[in-house]
């Protein structure tokens, strides 16, 4: 991310809501910096957010593009614990790890970490999540502080690091299992025909090679 994109990102509320059409606030900031996106596509930032981005980019202030949503008060998600089935889908969707719980156990939202991104709503199979206004009539940056934005950014980055680490660990575990089977393929297969075993060995070796090549391209 270049300096312009970093300055733009710092002017975004970091809700990670994806309403701008990009996967996160950093991606939207980079798109603005490279003139691939307008500065009026962030509903959580609202009118003041457009003005902030105008000062940074030198682009004219334009009305908020309502096709991406409207400026509203800050909300937080609330889970009806009587209806929650513990499916963990909302936990996986939350960009700031604001939801705690485990499989088949009741989930709870930690209000201080919720950005009101609404990404948990569409994945809930029993519609037990609602939004609660916590900023009164204040909207946009009037409902959101720089400190909250910084906290949201840090928690999102921590989540990205954790999920990347978990993915690598999962891949390494699968590779170890594949290598174990390769070491003694005969005892790990229902087949005894040498040609069939050789074909299976080739498939596993090719899959391992692809996985290692892909991991070598992934930055630490």
Could you read off the pLDDT of 67-122 as tens digits, one per residue?
Answer: 999 999 999 999 998 999 999 999 999 999 999 988 888 899 999 999 999 999 99
Task: Tell whether the torsion through CA atoms of 170, 173, 179 and 182 is positive or negative.
Answer: negative
Is 22 among the domain residues? yes
Q: What is the pLDDT of residue 206?
A: 79
Q: What is the pLDDT of residue 158?
A: 95
Residue ranges of the alpha helices (H) in 11-134? Answer: 25-33, 46-57, 89-93
Residue 129 backbone zone (phi > 0: left; psi -120 to 50: alpha; other: beta): beta
User: How many independent structural domains does the chain possess?
Assistant: 3
Q: What is the pLDDT of residue 190?
A: 67
Residue ranges for the chain with pLDDT beneath 50: none
Is 19 among the domain residues? yes
Is 49 among the domain residues? yes
Q: What is the pLDDT of residue 166?
A: 76
Domain of residue 114: give its range: 75-142
Q: Within this chain, do residues 42 and 25 fall inside the same structural domain, yes or no?
A: yes
pTM of the prediction?
0.77
């Amino acid at each position: 991310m270049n300096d312009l994109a970093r300055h733009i990102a710092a002017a975004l509320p970091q809700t990670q809501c994806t309403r701008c059409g990009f996967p996160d606030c950093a991606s939207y900031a980079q798109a603005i910096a490279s003139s691939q996106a307008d500065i009026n596509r962030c509903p959580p930032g609202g009118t003041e957010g457009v003005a902030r981005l105008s000062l940074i980019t030198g682009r004219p202030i334009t009305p908020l593009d309502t096709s991406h949503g409207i400026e509203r008060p800050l909300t937080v998600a609330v889970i009806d614990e009587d209806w929650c089935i513990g499916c963990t889908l909302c936990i996986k969707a939350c960009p700031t790890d604001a939801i705690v719980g485990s499989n088949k156990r009741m989930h709870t939202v930690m209000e201080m970490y919720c950005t009101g991104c609404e990404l948990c709503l569409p994945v809930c199979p029993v519609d037990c999540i609602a939004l609660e206004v916590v900023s009164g009539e204040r909207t946009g940056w009037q409902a959101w502080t720089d400190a909250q934005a910084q906290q949201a950014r840090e928690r999102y980055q921590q989540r990205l690091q954790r999920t990347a680490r978990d993915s690598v660990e999962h891949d390494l575990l699968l590779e170890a299992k594949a290598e174990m089977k390769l070491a003694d393929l005969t005892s790990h297969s229902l087949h005894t025909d040498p040609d069939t075993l050789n074909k299976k060995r080739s498939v596993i070796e090719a899959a391992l090679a692809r996985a290692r090549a892909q991991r070598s391209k992934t930055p630490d």
